[in-house]
């Protein structure tokens, strides 16, 4: 989207529809925009294929609104993670299509339709308590243009629930496995499929679970091959990585 904006300005300059000073005014904020409290990287989409994402934790509502307004000027979608309801209340009047998923803390300012990849990402959870992190992953991937399939509450305590949906596992090009407690789900899935598995440990569990550390270490020590692990509760990181893998598959 931003790359198209640059080309459009240069074409106008070439045709004489704008002068040098007008072209400069249009382009000067494209590399980054200094808001005083944030430097918005408007060129990130050109370099990486994806625009900057707003991490809301630790920011004030006023700061978040200012960043959203600046990013909206570039006419692309805006994704916010770890957002609070009061942030949504302050943002929803800025555009006609603002989506808030309170459980996962995701806000999406949808200015253009999402792309939909041919290849699928499956997001699976061990339990219902893992859905907040799973939705952060799923919604991130969808905003970034990926076709997402959800398969929730299929943990190893009732392994037949997972095995009965084997066809969904086999149809996916990438699988995100989200689990707390002992974190066994990615290992089980990794032993069933030939697709890359992105394991996401969650902070769901009792005392000796150590707020996700037990799941993290279990996933890092998985005996199944083809598994990569992101940080505790990092659904966004998993969704972003999955979308990058899908983009390379479809590019190839």
Instruction: State the average pLDDT over residues 4-28.
Output: 76
CA distance 33 to 67: 10
Q: Where are the domains of the chain?
A: 45-109, 120-251
2 pLDDT exceeds 60?
no
CA distance 52 to 62: 18
Backbone φ, ψ for residue 236 (5° rounding):
-60, -45
pLDDT digits (tens, 9 = 90+) for 32-63: 777 787 878 777 777 787 888 999 999 999 99
Look at strands 147-151 and 174-179 and give their pairing: unpaired
Mean pLDDT of the chain: 91
Structural fold of domain 120-251: Rossmann fold (3.40.50)
68 pLDDT exceeds 60?
yes
CA distance 63 to 56: 9
28 pLDDT exceeds 80?
no
Enter the pTM of the model. 0.86
pLDDT digits (tens, 9 = 90+) for 120-167: 999 999 999 999 999 999 999 999 999 999 999 999 989 999 999 999
């Amino acid at each position: 989207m931003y790359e198209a904006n640059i080309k459009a300005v240069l074409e106008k300059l070439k045709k004489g529809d704008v002068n040098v000073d007008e072209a400069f005014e249009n382009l000067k904020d494209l590399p980054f925009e200094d808001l005083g409290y944030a430097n918005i990287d408007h060129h990130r989409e050109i370099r990486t294929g994806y625009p900057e994402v707003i991490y809301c934790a630790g920011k004030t509502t006023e700061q978040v609104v200012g960043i959203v307004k600046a990013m909206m000027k570039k006419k692309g979608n805006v994704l916010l993670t770890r957002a609070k309801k009061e942030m949504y209340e302050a943002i929803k009047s800025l555009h006609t299509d603002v989506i808030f998923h309170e459980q996962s803390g995701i806000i999406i300012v949808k200015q253009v339709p999402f792309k939909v990849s041919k290849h699928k990402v499956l997001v699976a959870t061990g339990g219902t308590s893992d859905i907040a992190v799973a939705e952060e992953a799923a919604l991130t991937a969808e905003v970034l243009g990926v076709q997402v399939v959800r398969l929730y509450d299929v943990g190893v305590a009732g392994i037949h629930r997972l095995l009965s949906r084997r066809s969904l596992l086999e149809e996916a090009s990438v699988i995100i496995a989200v689990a707390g407690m002992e974190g066994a789900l990615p290992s089980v899935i990794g032993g069933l499929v030939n697709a890359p598995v992105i394991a996401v440990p969650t902070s769901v569990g009792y005392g000796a679970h150590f707020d996700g550390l037990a799941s993290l270490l279990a996933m890092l020590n998985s005996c199944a091959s083809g598994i990569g692990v992101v940080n505790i509760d990092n659904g966004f990181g998993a969704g972003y990585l999955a979308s990058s893998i899908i983009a390379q598959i479809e590019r190839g």
